[in-house]
């Protein structure tokens, strides 16, 4: 089964590399210096302290994805609208489209862009970064959860995709409640992603501080309140689980922290900012998420 990754950042390159090493037919849609290095020298992939250089197909021509059965849309939310336009010439009715963005909006955007095509929502809890063009480091976790968002011909490929990920040593399982799955990851991001970018401290460190943990919990609790108002099946117990897991994490730089350091626009408007927007619609106080969104915007302007 040919699998394409539309967006060859840290996430796309890591999972593409794992599948390639397991024998799958993989193509990366990439650009710029990153693409040039991959094409000329291969993709350098480090995971669990072990480095490999992989000869993996990569292109800036979207038609390289036209023969794929599955396209994993692995760009960030900030680049999703442009990516959907790019993909329009090659998406077919029998394909399976998989979203891997932070936040909860991507599956609906993909479904709107490609009516009738099967869409699977995905979450990846992973520490990974592009160290330099052509070199991706996987530093923590990496499990995937996938849930059907919209049925279609390609939905029948989901069991095979899960099988291929697991065969590639990527823990992957199906989630029967895709909305709750997305919101549970959003909870963690609301609490920790912006706060790590603001403080430049690892998530495990701010989870261990009573002062910062107070605001982390407030941000996540606001998100729970909004989710419940939208009839999403999560609850406050998910907050305790996130804190427990985070305290055991290694020194991982979050995506917002990496974006701030690189001078890129963050995804805060799709994480904390989204909770604020939905909170306003539902009449729910989201002042902690509003504060975190405001602080990140201020840092972005610096």
pLDDT by 10s per residue, the chain, length 302: 999 999 999 999 999 999 999 999 999 999 999 999 999 999 999 998 899 999 999 999 999 999 999 999 999 999 999 999 999 999 999 999 999 999 999 999 999 999 999 999 999 999 999 999 999 999 888 999 999 999 999 999 999 999 999 999 999 999 999 999 999 999 999 999 999 999 999 999 999 999 999 999 999 999 999 999 999 999 999 999 999 999 999 898 999 999 999 999 999 999 999 999 999 999 999 999 999 999 999 999 98
Domain count of the chain? Answer: 2
How many Å apart are CA 51 and CA 190, to the nearest integer? Answer: 32
- 35 and 134 co-located in one domain: yes
Which has the closest alpha carbon to 47: 127, 134, 108, 138? 138
Residues 6+ apart with CB under 8 A from 61: none
- 114 and 79 co-located in one domain: yes
Q: 128 exposed, middle or buried (CB, 10 Å; 0-12, 13-18, 19+)? A: buried
- 27 and 51 co-located in one domain: yes
CATH number for the domain harbouring residue 73: 3.40.50.720
- 146 and 62 co-located in one domain: yes
Distances from the Cα of 68 to the Cαs of 25, 94, 101, 257, in angstroms?
9, 10, 20, 33
- 165 and 32 co-located in one domain: yes
DSSP calls for 18-85: HHHHTT-EEEEE--HHHHHHHHHH-EEEEETTEEEEE--EEES-GGGGTT-SEEEE-S-GGGHHHHHH
Q: Which of 152, 176, 200 is the last residue of a domain?
A: 176
**pLDDT number for residue 49:** 85
- 255 and 168 co-located in one domain: no
**pLDDT number for residue 48:** 83
**pLDDT number for residue 85:** 99
- 202 and 244 co-located in one domain: yes
Q: Which of 176, 209, 224 is the last residue of a domain?
A: 176
**pLDDT number for residue 259:** 96
Q: Domain of 215?
A: 180-301
- 172 and 218 co-located in one domain: no
Q: Which of 115, 150, 176 is the last residue of a domain?
A: 176
User: 43-47 and 50-54: which strand pairing?
Assistant: antiparallel
Residue 48 near residue 10, CB atoms below 8 Å:
no
The CB-side HSE value for 128 (13 A sphere, CA atoms) comes to 23
- 135 and 152 co-located in one domain: yes
- The β-bridge partners of 145 are 123, 173
- 111 and 214 co-located in one domain: no
How many Å apart are CA 296 and CA 273, to the nearest integer? Answer: 10
- 128 and 191 co-located in one domain: no
Return the C-alpha torsion angle 94, 99, 105, 109, nearest 10.
-30
- 170 and 280 co-located in one domain: no
Specify the DSSP class assigned to residue 268: G
């Amino acid at each position: 089964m040919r699998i394409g990754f539309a967006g060859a950042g840290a996430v796309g390159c890591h999972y593409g590399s794992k599948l390639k090493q397991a024998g799958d037919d993989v193509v990366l849609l990439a650009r710029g210096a990153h693409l040039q290095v991959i094409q000329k020298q291969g993709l350098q992939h480090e995971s669990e302290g072990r480095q490999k250089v992989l000869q993996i197909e990569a292109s800036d021509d979207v038609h390289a994805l036209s023969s794929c059965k599955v396209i994993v849309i692995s760009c960030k939310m900030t680049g999703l609208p442009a990516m959907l336009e790019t993909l329009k010439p090659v998406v077919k009715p029998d394909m399976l489209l998989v979203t891997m963005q932070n936040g909860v909006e991507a599956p609906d955007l993909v479904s709107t862009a490609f009516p009738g095509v099967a869409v699977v929502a995905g979450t990846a809890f992973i520490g990974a970064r592009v160290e330099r063009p052509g070199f991706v480091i996987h530093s923590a976790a990496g499990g995937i959860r996938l849930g059907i968002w919209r049925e279609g011909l390609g939905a029948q490929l989901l069991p095979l995709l899960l099988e291929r990920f697991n065969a590639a040593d990527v823990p992957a399982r199906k989630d029967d409640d895709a909305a709750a799955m997305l919101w549970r990851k959003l909870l963690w991001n609301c609490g920790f992603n912006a706060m790590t970018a603001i403080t430049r401290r690892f998530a495990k460190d701010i989870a261990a501080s009573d002062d910062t943990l107070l605001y982390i919990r407030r941000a996540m609790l606001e998100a729970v309140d909004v989710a419940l108002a939208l009839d999403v099946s999560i609850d406050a117990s998910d907050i305790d689980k996130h804190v427990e897991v985070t305290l055991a994490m290694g020194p991982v730089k979050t995506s917002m922290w990496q974006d701030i350091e690189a001078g890129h626009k963050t995804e805060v408007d799709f994480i904390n900012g989204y909770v604020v927007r939905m909170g306003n619609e539902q009449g729910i106080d989201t002042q902690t998420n509003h504060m975190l969104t405001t602080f990140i915007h201020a840092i972005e302007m610096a």
